[in-house]
Structure 1
């Protein structure tokens, strides 16, 4: 078996994602019984311009490759040269996927067993701060001439691989890495396999971090380990690039999916990860606001904002906000014109609401009208609910909960099933305060629509935590309570 043929390969490219990356230079050294038995190197015409930053890095410019063979002209040579060989490269996923992509453009399938000298080095030569080819060669005294050119990088990788072979004489590690069922074959180059082994198969969130421990992606999952591995199995350019930058993975158990979604949202808001697209931009919200006009009349209007304020009348689409404004206008006999439901005439003439008592014509007392507006605003406050959504905890006999007070998400927490939780104030010691956003409200709204009143614990009326006498908790399954959750917890 030690007569196995290895193809040590390096490619230089035009840069960009996997899909658009074209080869500008390739070098292949064949290694057998620990010795180089053949070598092939050539420039390649990528059939597209080479960006200036790539030329600065590699020294390869458009003029150099203008008369070089195109990939289809060297494909047969590469196929034959690497036949029966194990594909070896420093950060093998990059070189392997680029070459496979070139063959795919020709309608051909290229498949080889592969080994990554980054991952082998981390296993067999542990403890170094960096495993980039340049820094590793400097650290362990491997000559590395003509860096960022295919032949120069291959020559250095050959010496590195020879040392790795001498450290694994019985091929225990190499065979483990070659095993198609082994995680080593698919993991990113900088991520220790031990971190994957430590991942739980339970609900929670996970954080991908770069070399500086900066969060670059936050995700949630019912099964953290399974979901994390799925990123590395993906062939998408974004997932590949994420893997290339990942050096560490952290996780946090949440016990159930609702809390996982809420905690994930908080991490995205807090860290603004590079690879998260969803939830990074604040969505527009609408709030019912009031102001006094020149006649002293209190008018109502819709305020548009991208921030989440502690308003009792926040909506997440304009239609829902207008419907609520029309509802209180009709219920409290307010004037549609002074509720900004029309603005085209002095006298109100709403298509449906006809019970204005004359404030727009000057036949109703301003003080009396303003008292009705105050009552309408108070009704909005009175109809906001306080409740907790309970669910599975992180361990046996633990209960996790999301907490909403006065219509606003306040945070989440956990308590033991045996704890006496009967008042709203009993939740306070276990509550981890969080910021309410459009996304947290959308998450809870979606959960309530799917699950209904299941595991929802209501409080009899809105009250505040700390120094307030708490009302008793009641678990409600009535149709009316269920309707309240959806119609009065203003989620839109």
Structure 2
């Protein structure tokens, strides 16, 4: 017996979501034998993006029954049945959370149609419910509403049952009752993590480092590892016994630390950093007419006077941005279709604008400090660069420390730079919300 289920939740922080709509079809493998469809008053506000996606608003739920009023009915219709859902670990976790609030330990076995479809329909371009249904010709309606998605999941499940001709896969993917729900150890781990930007480190039972990650929200990201599907998630769920972390405040600093520490430690579940994070470079070159031009090249090497990009599209986009920002003449960009044309600017004026691009966005030969968010109020993170090369990072509270290189060097944690580090820093400095920079050896 199966209970095909879909839940629409309010959204919000982990373990604070509430159920606002539920649809359950009790299915005996051939036909529907019972059903329950209901809006639920979650007794909390719906996140705006959820309301926009589902069309359900707070006003619609004021007169709906609260979860404790329908809890018995849900227990009855799912009794002795395997819960089937698309991304079952999410629906099952939300359902168990609601019952835990009532002091009841709700447990059922679960099947996930995402897992089943990946095994039985591996050629599908996407295994999301909407795209999968569309590619299989499954009629759907009321998408992102519990009843519409539950019916689509039921139709998909029927198809998957028919495709499972040897009847082995369903047995193999049958989950334990607690799958999709954090184990007591995992729950303790997650509850003790901060919702802050930083780097986290996952260890196995022998104390070996098995994974390093960076994120803007450590608690949320580790929780995702413990509840997601996929080969990496399964490995981390099985092997992780301890999680340590280091908050950075700065996203740039978190990215740099993850890259450098992954490269150094080579945890077994991390993809080893690619030899090169960039594929194209841009730099100034003087042509026969005396104009300094910006030229895109495909390259596996990033000279210190060049800027790196992770693709041709990214490089072209940057040139379009600086063309407008610095009012560059067509003669300043190599390959411009109007490159032969000249504006009223002289060669010297055109070249000055081109060099201004490099001065703003390149770290070449600079002594500079990159300032970004700190770990707490009143603190700022810094990255020290000397002669264009990263020296180290740290955190400061006092303004006078920032312009004093010896002080920064005394309090920083050394960090070795390479081409990829230069690329990462350049990429962040090109963002619209780029960190603040202070040049310590400005030209007179």
TM score, norm. by length of structure 2? 0.49
Name which one, 1 or 2, has greater alpha-carbon Rg: 1
TM score, norm. by length of structure 1? 0.45
